Amino acid sequence: MCGIVGYVGFREASEVILDGLKRLEYRGYDSAGIAVKVNGHLEVVKKAGKLQVLADSLKEHNLSGQFGVGHTRWATHGAPTDPNAHPHTTEKGDIVVIHNGIIENYLPLKEGLIARGHTFTSETDSEVLAHLIEEKYRGDLVEAVRLALAEAYGAYALVVAHQDHEEIVVARTVSPLVIGLGEGENFVASDVPALLPYTRRVIFLHDGDMAVVTREGVKVTDLAGNPVEREVVTVEWSLEAAEKGGHPHYMLKEIYEQPRVLENTLGGRLHEEEAGVELGLKLDPTHYDKVHIVACGTAYYAAWVGKYLLEALARVPVEIDVASEYRYRDPVVDDKTLAICISQSGETIDTLEAIREAKRKGAGTLGVINAKGSSITREVDDTLYIHAGPEIGVASTKAYIAMLAAMAMLAVWMGRARGSLDEKTAREFLGEMRKLPRLVEEALELRPQVAHIAEKYHQAQDYLFLGRHIQAPTAYEGALKLKEISYIHAEAYPAGEMKHGPIALIDERLPVVVLATQSPFYEKTVSNIQEVRARGGRVIAVATEGDTEVKKFAQDVIYVPQTHHLLAPVVSVVPLQLLAYETAVFLGRDVDQPRNLAKSVTVE
């Protein structure tokens, strides 16, 4: 939530900052702002609306300077207005503050500051930091920030600049912050894509770190000022991977990347000859007698698929939880519990707090994560990277498919170690997994047919998605994708649950997407399709190539390639992603920046 970019060096700061914010706009797009030091003063321009509004407005300002900071906002406290946009400053205007996170005690701090004569111009929690730092400032900006943070608590990635010092003072707790290292220039950002045009050498700040970033170098300390050693990491993501590559939207580009992503996720890890997988994990899979999986949104549906895979192949009991619920339900956890969290960003605060809860209670912890160096990876005992590359589209697609592949590998890893998965079955399953990139490639060819269905139903008010067993989460993921980017109301249900209530919704206006791929439960799903048809519902079935049965009952059938029924979610989700995408395009929606959403949710 919120994107931050800071620059000090020899280039035009406004260009570096706008370019970086563009790459971070997936983190929030309610307003944007920039401060650049021009002729010894920090000039601030900030605007409600997307970054382009700010970019247009900058044409009327001369912000030429080599030192500055910028922000793109996802609103928490205060509506998306010009005054609530960052950077925040005070009446004197010599200090600017950019903040991502929530200052939990901002109200008492604000009252105190007002009583001491400060005038506030925004409704944000962040503005208190500008006033607090101003109050503490006696010529040493670093000391002023440190003193202010001793009084404020909550979550923050904080970036502060003063017109008299060519240094960017930053601090983080909970919200991510990364420093990019250049020659004669240095950078600050919320996430790596903003840095990729300039450097791949980065330092990921940890909770409780502060840093002073100047042209010449970077000094990292703790909040008390004690020096701290942080590793310089070379990131492997290419600039091209973080750009659209000729596609109209990041989401479409990422959907098309999925075959390559699967190759990366599975690459070097499947070993049919040994009937196993090599995941490089330190954890001992035989030590645990139960598994808890926590995640949010799309990653939660990957957790749900993971439950079926682990229970089927490793015969271990698995509980799954939406992360924001897990930590408050006082889960029963002991040192025989393996707690797995799944996250693309590795920064989702609900997921981070849930895994912390499991760790506190003695569980072994494993992250299934995309973003290297992210907060969760630093807190778990072990990480299985999904290698999906940078995902920019707010609606997650390629990360989901990579999560599914990772969960399948984990199930084989545990199943083989626990002796519940025999060699022959493991080899066959791994053989099926190896085919997945090709099958997903084939599924992408469904786009013209799916676009036709999307056009046919794009004016529907509601959609229903049904799926059974391991395809129930696919139904939920299909509904989530449609909701997120087309704003059409979509519900998902396990297919067998429909008759217990949702069946009342069915009439001739309701498109019902049914996952009816081959599985031991296929006949039951076909019965559910007939129940929908008998009530006039319009069925869009996702079936396995070669199926001749389903088309008797469905208006539209999307045929996906045959695979093992436990891997069917990987190929079946592709037409559902395309359905959401094409529907949103028909409706003229902003596919990559759907309203109210942000890619990385770092507030509770």
Catalytic positions, written as ranges: 2, 599
Residue 90 touches ligand M6R, criterion: CB under 6 A: no
Q: How far is the CB of 563 from ligand M6R (least distance, A)?
A: 23
Three-state secondary-structure class, residue 47: strand
Q: How far is the CB of 370 from ligand M6R (least distance, A)?
A: 7
Residue 297 touches ligand M6R, criterion: CB under 6 A: yes
By C-beta, is 395 or 439 nearer to ligand M6R? 395
Which two three-digit tokens encode residue 567?
Answer: 């891997």
Residue 601 touches ligand M6R, criterion: CB under 6 A: yes
Residue 294 touches ligand M6R, criterion: CB under 6 A: no
Q: In the set 161, 299, 421, 495, which binds ligand M6R (CB under 6 A)?
A: 299
Q: How far is the CB of 515 from ligand M6R (least distance, A)?
A: 18
CA distance 189 to 571: 35
Residue 339 touches ligand M6R, criterion: CB under 6 A: no
Residue 321 touches ligand M6R, criterion: CB under 6 A: no
Exposure string of 145-178, with b = 16+ CB inside 10 Å and e = fewer, is bbbbbebbebbbbbbbbbbebebbbbbbbbbbbb
Q: Angle CA(317)–CA(321)–CA(323) in degrees, nearest 5?
A: 140
By C-beta, is 241 or 342 nearer to ligand M6R? 342
Half-sphere exposure of residue 390, counting CA atoms within 13 Å on the CB side? Answer: 22
- Sheet-wide strand order for 556-560: 489-494, 462-467, 511-516, 538-544, 556-560
Q: In the set 320, 600, 602, 603, which binds ligand M6R (CB under 6 A)?
A: 600
Q: How far is the CB of 340 from ligand M6R (least distance, A)?
A: 13
Q: How far is the CB of 230 from ligand M6R (least distance, A)?
A: 23
DSSP string, 70-91: EEEE--SSS-S-TTTSSPEE-S
- Residue pointed to by tokens 């399953």: 429
Residue 258 touches ligand M6R, criterion: CB under 6 A: no
Q: How far is the CB of 353 from ligand M6R (least distance, A)?
A: 12
Residue 344 touches ligand M6R, criterion: CB under 6 A: yes
Q: In the set 122, 126, 298, 377, which binds ligand M6R (CB under 6 A)?
A: 298
Q: Answer for the pair 280, 379: CB distance below 8 angstroms, yes or no.
A: no
Residue 349 touches ligand M6R, criterion: CB under 6 A: no
Q: Answer for the pair 458, 485: CB distance below 8 angstroms, yes or no.
A: no
Q: In the set 84, 396, 486, 602, which binds ligand M6R (CB under 6 A)?
A: 396
- Residue pointed to by tokens 């799954």: 320
Using CB under 6 A as the binding criterion, the count of chain residues that bind ligand M6R stands at 16
Residue 348 touches ligand M6R, criterion: CB under 6 A: yes
Which two three-digit tokens encode residue 359?
Answer: 């760790």
Q: Where are the alpha helices (DSSP H) in 380-517?
A: 398-418, 423-434, 436-444, 447-457, 472-486
Instruction: Find the residue with minimal CB distance to ligand M6R.
Output: 297
Residue 375 touches ligand M6R, criterion: CB under 6 A: no
Which two three-digit tokens encode residue 590?
Answer: 């902003």
Q: Which stretch binds ligand M6R (CB under 6 A): 286-294, 344-352, 358-366, 443-451?
A: 344-352
| Cβ neighbours for 322, distance < 8 A, ≥ 6 positions apart | 294, 295, 296, 300, 350
CA distance 109 to 151: 8
Interface with ligand M6R in residues 462-501 (CB under 6 A): 484
Interface with ligand M6R in residues 568-597 (CB under 6 A): 597
Contacts with ligand M6R, residue ranges (CB under 6 A): 296-299, 343-345, 348, 351, 394-396, 484, 597, 600-601
